[in-house]
Amino acid sequence: MFAQLGDHIFQGLKTPSSYSDNEAVKYGQIPRVNDKPAIQPTGAELKEIQLSIVYSADFCEPTTEIEALKKSMRDFEVLTYITGEGQIIGKYVITSVDTTTQRCSANGRVELATVNINLLESPGGEDPAPAGQALTSQQPATEPPAEPAPSPAADITNDIAEAKTKVSGIKKTVAKIKSKTTELKRGVREVRQLATDAQGLYATAKTKVEATKKIIQRASQLPTSLGEALKYAENLANLDNVADVSVLEMNANQLSESADKVTTHAAPAAGFAGTKESGN
């Protein structure tokens, strides 16, 4: 995972194509007689982050992703920005979501779009401690800081995101069968393989959740939703001969809806990974 902003996860093919940040301080000018003014630091400016992401119908639903970002902006949500390594950068608000649509279908569905997101720091509350720095000692550290322990929450969200990609592939295969571009027998084989992959990923994620008691407490709905997704993935993975594509479509839609629910419930687990309580 590249980063997470609140419930918005940026990873895999949804990794930002460009990233920039801006950090600045302020100085006041003190007039002096017959000389240039003196300067005095007066504080820090709010930090800003800019992300540019390409959303394609090949791996997600661009409109859904964009609307989710716009909703967070319109609702004035204060979102925690966390790196893929579990480091909390700070709290930010979305100030703008600029969308450039590059390809649409015949019915107007967005198939490819570039989204530029501007974030503004929202100070307040407890600031995250700097990573790898002594907070009290003024002397150079005699030993390098210990590497942070791998975060099980990050592993969980990676498994879930990869499984969601498999689920998206299942829906595309079903659509090909319905449009007659793929024969039913071949499509069932593809669905079965993708569902088997998703089944393995959800099972791995569920094992990690069950082994991490505190993360379960922070994401109490995640084991239940993982179990539901696992059940639907198992149904598709065990398919053999299917006579009616509607059966295949129904199961694929159930798994897709369940995958969305799992992704939502996994967000608190990832947010917990970088906190002091988790030991990072």
Regarding whether 9 and 70 lie in a shared domain, the answer is yes
Decide which of 14 and 151 is more confident.
14
Using CA atoms, how far apart are residues 32 and 231, in angstroms rounded to an integer?
A: 76
Both structure tokens of 4? 């997470």
Regarding whether 87 and 178 lie in a shared domain, the answer is no
The answer on pLDDT for 101 being more than 70 is: yes
Using CA atoms, how far apart are residues 157 and 215, in angstroms rounded to an integer?
A: 12
Domain count for the chain: 2
In a domain, 64, yes or no: yes
Regarding whether 236 and 180 lie in a shared domain, the answer is yes
Regarding whether 160 and 93 lie in a shared domain, the answer is no
The answer on pLDDT for 140 being more than 60 is: no
- pTM of the full predicted structure? 0.44
Contacts of 215 (CB under 8 A, 6+ apart): 152, 153, 156, 209, 269, 272, 273, 278
In a domain, 146, yes or no: no
In a domain, 189, yes or no: yes
Instruction: Give pLDDT tens digits for 37-96.
Output: 999 998 889 999 999 999 988 888 899 999 999 999 999 999 999 988 888 889 999 999
In a domain, 205, yes or no: yes
Amino acid at 143: E
In a domain, 14, yes or no: yes
Both structure tokens of 202? 């959800």
In a domain, 215, yes or no: yes
> Which domain covers residue 86, as residue numbers?
3-24+43-121
> Which pLDDT value is given to residue 225?
77
Last residue in a domain, options 102, 121, 140: 121
In a domain, 239, yes or no: yes
